[in-house]
Structures are given as structure tokens and as C-alpha cells.
Amino acid sequence: MRDLRLRIPAVAIAILLLFQTLLPGPGLWAQQNAQQSQNQQQTQSPQPPPDQTAPAAGGPGNDNGPIAIPRSAPAPPPPPEPTVKNPPALNNYSLRVDVPVVNVDVGVLTQKTHQFIPNLQEDNFRVFENGVPQQIVGFQRVKAPITAVLLLEFASTSWWFIQDMWDAAWSFTQQLQPNDYVAVVTYDMHTNILTDFTQNRMLIQEAINSLQIPTWQETNVFDAVYETLDRLTRVDGRKYIILVGSGIDTFSRITLDKVYQKIKETPNVTIFTISTGGYVRTMAEPFMGGMAETTYLQADNQMDYFARMTGGMHFEPRFEAEFPDIFSEINNSIRNQYQITYKPSNPKMDGTYRRIRVELVDNEGRPLRMQDQKHHPVKYDIIARDGYKAKQQVE
């Protein structure tokens, strides 16, 4: 019993000491009370507004350690709204204006010898469009390789016509230059491409040699010219058609008016025409009826108009010996030209046909007169395209 009384006080003392260690001491309580009173004062008293001149957080003025956090760069101001003068319901749009120019290849040849006349200057040329003088903005002399289609009539009509076609084709190939591109196309009832554009003269001659036995009598020259012009629209640059045939059309689906319209619509194409059968026609004139003679004359006029519309030339040879001179004249005209560029005074894109006229003048604006070395007057021909079709405005 005594031992129990002695142990109870000892246990009580141990519990009391443990309780004191768990309770905060006076210093800690004082600190907590002081902190609570300070927080209450801060919440009750109004705080002063922040200093507008103080640096932003994170800048050099707010360094909390040995390394300062870089100040973030301010965001750039948004771009100003564009000033729009259109009505509010109308959106902005851009306008592109195409200023067209017209290129005219002009050949100036003597009437007697058909030689090219060099050394003419820009001031010697006057260009008129529908009778209105035009301002020339470019002028140069052109001498370049040619891109040509040799379009040959090959039908079982008469041996004399086929012989003239052979002579013309051979004379043409003899005067080709190494850089010339030539395609050979024949026509009867259909149009046949013997060889596409090539610089190989041997290939061109082989194509001509293959023309031995014709199969059809029809000569659909309108269809042939129309189809050839249609194919040439996909070829860049200046092109030429050397059309050799009688000019008589027998069974074409395309009318003559459509051919004329196609010629007007196809730019950068010059047609040279050579009528065949001249010798046999001359020999048969006393025996020809009026209808046959009229048919051949009409065919010649059509061939001549094909050439004049495009700035080419038309020939009606009678003898075989004339063909080399004819193609020499054609080469002289093709390879030596003046190229004139002008800006039309009529800027409308209305699809109308504009007629072109070129004149030569002297320094005083009068018609140019030429003389040879013996002071004899020299007559000359100006060879240029008849006109062009203006672009059609696309809506």
C-alpha cells in the first residue's frame, strides 16, 4: 500500500511535465499574438496606392537575391486600322489595268528587184490604226530563224499541179537555215501532218519524197488553212504558212468567211501563197469555158487575200525556173523586217477588228522618195499586216 502511494505522485509529476512540453511557451505565444494584432491592423487600415513610377515586379528594382529576374518586354501596340474610303457595305478590292501594245512586222521591198531596203529609221515610219496616228514606243530590225508550216495541196487533179507543188517544196527546202523550224502538212479531202516541226532538213525532204500517189480529188483548202491556224495558236512567237496549191476549194466544211475570221483572230501568223498550175492554165486558156476561168480567177483572188491580210505575198508562177526566185524573195522578206511596237490610242477591249496602215515619210513628214545610185526614182512596197483583233474583255 505504501508503495502505491509513493508511485501515484511520481506518475502525476511525469504527466504534468509532459503536458508543459506540449504547450507553447510565453515567448511563442507573444509572437503569435503580436503577429495576429499586426494582421488585424493591416486589414483595418487603408493601404496607399501603388507607386506608378516604381519598377515592375521582376525588374532590377525588385531584386530579392543575387540574380535579378529579367523584366518582361511590354507588348507592342496593335497596328492602326486601315483607312477605308469605300462605303461600309463594299469590301476592298484591287484593280489591274492591262495596257496593250501591238507589234507590227513591216517589210520594205523594191518593186523591181524585190530586195529589202535597209537603213530606215524609226522617224521614217508612220502607223495608223483605223485612220488615227499611233505613237511608236519600240522599233528594231529583225533578222531571226523562221518557224514555218509548208502547207501543200496533194490531190489527184492534174499532174501539172502536182509537179508545181514538188518544185515549190524543193526550192523552199534548199533555202532553209540550220536554225529554222519547219513542219510539212498536206491536204486533199483531209489534212495530214507528214512531219512535225523539225530542224532536220533530211526529214523534211523525205516527207516531200513520200508524196507519190494521191488518193483524193477534193481540195479542201479552207479546212486546211483553218486547222493549220488553229494548231499554230499553241506555238509561241512569229509563225509563217507557205501555202502551195490551186486555191480551189471543193468540199470544205469551213466557209470562206470563217477562214477570214480565223485569220483575223490568229496573231503573229504571216501567210505566203503560191498558186500552182500556171503553165497548164496558160496553155488551156483558149479552150477554157467562162465558168472554169472564173473559178481559177476566184481561187487566185482568195489566195492573194490570205496573204495580204497577214502581211505576206502572193505569187502566180508560170514556169519551173521561177520558183527559186520566189522563195528567195520570201526568205528576203521573212528574215529582214522592221518590227514596230505601238500603244493603241483606243484602249477599249471590245473584240473589234482594227485596221493598220503603215507609211514611210521623210524628215519633213512628206511621203518618202528613194533614188538609186543613178538618181532614178525607186518604187517600193510596204508589206505589213492588214490589221488585228482587239482583246475581248473578260467579265
- What is the dihedral sign for C-alpha 31, 36, 42, 44? negative
Enter the C-alpha cell of residue 350: 471590245
- Phi, psi for 128 (deg, rounded to 5): -125, 135
Which amino acid is located at 36 in the chain? Q
Q: If you count DSSP H runs as helices and E runs as strands, how many of each does the chain have, helices first? A: 9, 16
Q: Directed axis angle between helix 322-335 and helix 159-174, to 10°?
A: 50
CA distance 392 to 390: 6
Distances (CA, A) of 65 to 54, 59, 60: 18, 12, 11
List of E strands, the chain: 102-110, 125-129, 132-133, 135-142, 147-153, 181-187, 191-198, 239-245, 269-275, 314-315, 337-343, 353-360, 370-371, 377-378, 380-383, 387-389
DSSP-derived 3-state class of residue 356: strand
Domains contained in the chain, CATH given? 98-143+337-395 (no CATH), 144-335 (3.40.50.410)
CA distance 128 to 356: 6
Q: For the chain, 395 residues long, give each residue's pLDDT as a single digit of tens.
A: 444 444 445 555 555 454 454 444 444 444 444 455 555 554 444 555 544 444 444 444 444 444 444 455 566 777 665 554 555 554 554 444 455 889 998 989 888 877 889 899 999 999 999 999 999 999 999 877 899 999 999 998 788 999 999 999 999 999 999 999 999 999 999 999 999 999 999 999 999 999 988 888 899 999 999 999 999 998 888 899 999 999 999 999 999 999 999 999 898 899 999 999 988 888 887 777 677 778 889 999 999 999 999 989 999 999 989 999 999 889 888 888 899 999 999 988 888 999 999 999 999 999 999 988 888 899 999 988 889 988 887 64
CA distance 315 to 320: 13
Distances (CA, A) of 44 to 32, 33, 38, 210, 226: 19, 17, 10, 116, 102
